Chains A and B, each alone.
Chain A
Amino acid sequence: MSLQGISSHGTIISLKPAVGAGAGTWIEIAELGDITEPGFTRNEFDITSHNRDIDTYVLGVQRRDPVSFPMFFNKNIQSQVYLRDQQLNGDPTTNMTNGFQLASPDGDLFIFSGGVKEMKGTAPVDGVRTANVVIRATGEFILNGVLYGS
């Protein structure tokens, strides 16, 4: 049978804090909802000119969209508190970068440096406490053991 698509359920995002509690170790972030993975993009530049009879483009440098996900937030879940600490306590002079790892059930492994750009909580009258997290990737990254962007 040919290979088929897989369910994405079980995708894990881990944090390796650069400083503070848990520094230097991968910590699996618990209670994640639907994850938006880092979109790989390049800007396009139109170089169609008078001497060409067809539109022509060049693409810019590799770029990534932010990684985002909702969490069912609970202060007693240590991994979520670590994530919040990185947002609250990060030092802007060091660009607040930490290690992040996104592991898919098929073994796809994306490791990157980044910062917790947003962590916005919601507390509905009749609902679950959640926090929506946005992580901005920056600099080189490793995809399945291969370094990109260097």
Chain B
Amino acid sequence: MPWVDELAAKLVTDSVGVLNDTIFISSKSTTPQAVAPRNRLPDGKATITITDTGGMRRLRIQNDRYGYERPSAQLVARAPTDAAAYALANAARDSLDGLDNVTIDGVRYVWLRAKQGPVDIGPDSKSGYPQYSFNVEAMKDPS
């Protein structure tokens, strides 16, 4: 299972959003803003998309061929207003930052960190909504 699914599960557990309603996975996901014109209006949903960005090579240990995975991902929140997009991105960061020795969706994480705070990356090309983004990285058991 891709590790971004585990991030999505954590966000759902922490009530940041609902999978496939306000939380979407992969760069190919179709967010409501992209398919439903009404959602482009100011009362549309705030959504967040999680995209795997590759991360670093595994950290090897001698007695384990696979060692620890070192993945990373980008999260992009978009909403009708700048404040709402920032709030969603910040809630997601709070959910995924500063975690040590935790089990997420059945997988052991040595640590999980946000690499920065939410960054304004400009409006969404489809909806025109403001977007805030941040990246996360982790050291974890293989999924």
Contact = CB atoms under 8 A, between A and B. Distances in A.
Interface string A3-45: 0000001111100000000000000111111010000000000
Q: How large is the interface on B (under 10, 10 to 19, 20 to 34, 35 or more residues)?
A: 10 to 19
Contact of A128 (B60, B62, B65, B139): B139
Interface centre among A11, A13, A32, A128 (most CB of B within 10 A): A128
B61 interface: yes
Contacts of B111: 126-128
Interface residues of A, number: 16
A11 B60 CA distance: 11
Contact of A31 (B63, B65, B139): B63
Contact of A32 (B61, B65, B110, B113): B61
A110 interface: no
A150 to B, nearest CB: 30
Contacts of A9: 60, 62, 65
Contacts of B62: 9-13, 32-33, 35
Contacts of A11: 62
B90 to A, nearest CB: 20
Contacts, number: 30
B93 to A, nearest CB: 16
Nearest to A35: B62
Query: Chain A's interface: helix, strand, loop or mixed, by majority?
Result: loop
B61 A33 contact: yes
Contacts of B110: 128
A79 to B, nearest CB: 9
Nearest to B98: A126
B63 A28 contact: yes
Interface in B52-104: 60-65
B97 to A, nearest CB: 11
A109 B55 CA distance: 36
A126 B112 CA distance: 10
Contacts of B65: 9-10
B135 to A, nearest CB: 16
20 contacts: A9-B60, A9-B62, A10-B65, A11-B62, A12-B63, A13-B62, A29-B63, A30-B61, A31-B63, A32-B61, A32-B62, A32-B63, A33-B62, A35-B62, A126-B111, A126-B113, A127-B111, A128-B110, A128-B111, A128-B139
Interface of B: 60-65, 110-111, 113, 139
Given A30-B61, A32-B62, 18 more contacts: A9-B60, A9-B62, A9-B65, A10-B62, A10-B63, A10-B65, A13-B62, A28-B63, A30-B63, A31-B61, A32-B63, A33-B61, A33-B62, A35-B62, A72-B61, A127-B111, A128-B110, A128-B111
